[in-house]
Structure 1
Amino acid sequence: MTTPSNPMPQQIRVEHVIDHEYRVRIDSGDETVISAFIVDPQVLTELGFAPGNEDRIVEHTAAFLAEHQPVIDFPQLVYLDEVAAAYDDYPGNLHHALK
């Protein structure tokens, strides 16, 4: 028996809310999820990124998570350090996507 893959999101919209906080709306088929993504500048530094590309990092992180879990299961608050802790391939994937 095969496991169905997660459908790719049809649209990811990133909206800056306040410093280092973003509202992300993910539309995937008939499901829409809104999550808050928190970007700690220290975590960016630990991941090897300089400040300034937070919106691209958030967008890629949302797409990365959608590849690994159904969007309906996204938490309401997403912290980059928790994503990095949960997925060993996240930092490398992020660097590859944003180089």
Structure 2
Amino acid sequence: MEAQFEVEMLFEHEYLVRARAAGEVIETRIMVEPGVLEQLGLEGADERQVVKETAVFLADHQPLIDFPPLLDLADVIASYDDFPEQLRRHLPADH
């Protein structure tokens, strides 16, 4: 069963992601530093959707319980070679 993620904007470029795992709520803060979307070729993309798709991607690669409390999108890019391509594939084409 695919995890359901709630994404809440905390500050500009910073989001809180919530999901349920093993009967508890998992929370992770994901930062989208300026320039990262440009680096990915996703200028103008909805940051909230980028964060949600990032959480979905990570859930496919590790248990939710192992999500770190704070994560920078640039770290995901550095850790997973296929992440940029997968992210582009799952975002609407009209970004």
| Fold in common (TM above 0.5) | yes
Q: Residue type of the partner of 1:41?
A: P
- Within 5 Å, which residues of 2 pair with 1:63-78? 63-78=56-71
1:88 aligned onto 2:88: no
- For the residues of structure 2 that align with 1:31 and 1:70, how far apart are their CA atoms? 13
1:28 aligns to what?
21
Residues 48-82 of structure 1: per-residue CA shift (max 9 Å, x gap)? 11135100000000010000000000011111110
Aligned to 1:75, what secondary structure does the other structure show? coil
> Structure 2, unaligned stretches of length 5 or more?
none
2:38 aligns to what?
45
Structure with max Cα Rg:
1
TM-fit CA distance, 1:41: 1.9
- Percent of aligned positions with the same letter in both sequences? 42
1:19 aligns to what?
12
Aligned to 1:93, what secondary structure does the other structure show? helix
CA RMSD of aligned residues (A): 1.3
